[in-house]
Amino acid sequence: MLLDTADTLSEITPEAADAMHLSRRLMHIRHYNRAGEYSKEAVDVGPFQLGVLSTPSIELVVSPSQHLFGKSGDQIVGILAPNVLMKYDVDVDFGSGKLNLISPDHCEGKVIYWPAKAIAVVPIKVEGTSSRVSEQGKIIIPVTIDGQHLDALLDTGAAASVLDREAAESNFGLKMGSADTPYAHDMFGKPGVAVYRHKFQSLDFEGIAIQNLDIDILPNFATGQLSMGPDVGSRLAASDAVEVPELVIGMNVLRHLHLYISYAEKKLYITPAGSPPANPPMIGVDEPSIAVAGQ
């Protein structure tokens, strides 16, 4: 399963659900992916075990048929999302390839149990109290990118960092297809939708400094979609519209870090990543320069 801090509900692919002969049922919500596609079906899976943790049954949304798992999609059977993760502190060292789910019942700030010369503590906004299912559990941090202040989404499910095309054009004056913002590739799952790429000089958030970061630029298909309500025939205002921050910080940044997410404290603890695994993930872009400030 894909660890995805920026999704909301844990999912299973249609192929995996059918292979396990799971009975589908309709939900009262519509659950969207980043391509703007949605599902209204869910299944119950049980027993469900993650490490030493287990539960008799868990509800998993059946992913929209065309999901954005990239080239490794045939190896992934679903998404592990904040509706499960928020019950714990999430400790993930991308360098050494280790994930721990830890009880949040501890003294505040007493979380860094590994040797670290530099630690950054970043206040976060956790969308956990909203009535909108489409936003619950997302981690939002304020950032400054080339002098512009934006809200950014922390997304372990995204291979690359992504900027909304409208923001790229209006906030930064970028022209798609120009020498400094060339065409990169078509969006996976949406042939004909171009993804452009721009190298930003600096991205900063509290305690973290990133230089020369390649960011993909593409349209935002999720913003404005409804996650609840009738499918047709309604002229009511979209009070439950999905709101996606203009910037997504993906794995081309996060894979260099050791993150400890405390949903209860609303804090993100960051140190440099541990030793890399034998086969580190390939992201296909130049490596940014990342510094974690001591605190």
Amino acid at 275: S
Lowest mean pLDDT of 114-118, 248-252, 263-267, name the range. 114-118
295 token code pair:
């605190």
Please, what is the average pLDDT of the chain? 84
User: Has residue 288 got a pLDDT over 80?
Assistant: yes
Which of residues 83, 107, 142 is at a domain's end? 83
Is the residue at 109 inside a domain? no
Q: Based on the fold, state whether residues 141 and 228 are members of the same structural domain.
A: yes
Strand ranges of the sheet holding 98-102, from the earlier edge strand across to the other edge: 98-102, 89-93, 257-262, 267-272, 120-123
pLDDT at 37 (0 to 100): 80
Q: Based on the fold, state whether residues 122 and 75 are members of the same structural domain.
A: no
Is the residue at 237 inside a domain? yes
Domain coverage including residue 16: 2-83
Q: Based on the fold, state whether residues 69 and 129 are members of the same structural domain.
A: no
Is the residue at 258 inside a domain? yes
Mean pLDDT of 20-35: 87
Can you name the residues that pair with 100 across neighbouring β-strands?
A: 91
When comparing pLDDT for 192 and 235, which is higher?
192
When comparing pLDDT for 243 and 147, which is higher?
147
Which of residues 63, 83, 103 is at a domain's end? 83
Q: Based on the fold, state whether residues 131 and 272 are members of the same structural domain.
A: yes
User: Has residue 146 got a pLDDT over 60?
Assistant: yes
Tell me, what CATH number does 64's domain have? 2.40.70
Is the residue at 107 inside a domain? no
Q: Based on the fold, state whether residues 128 and 269 are members of the same structural domain.
A: yes
Q: Based on the fold, state whether residues 266 and 152 are members of the same structural domain.
A: yes
Q: Based on the fold, state whether residues 159 and 280 are members of the same structural domain.
A: yes
Tell me, what CATH number does 227's domain have? 2.40.70.10
Q: Based on the fold, state whether residues 269 and 131 are members of the same structural domain.
A: yes
Mean pLDDT of 29-49: 86
Positions of E strands within 115-191:
120-123, 125-127, 138-145, 148-154, 162-164, 183-186
DSSP class of residue 70 equals G
Q: Based on the fold, state whether residues 47 and 126 are members of the same structural domain.
A: no
When comparing pLDDT for 284 and 188, which is higher?
188
Instruction: Tell me how many domains the chain contains.
Output: 2
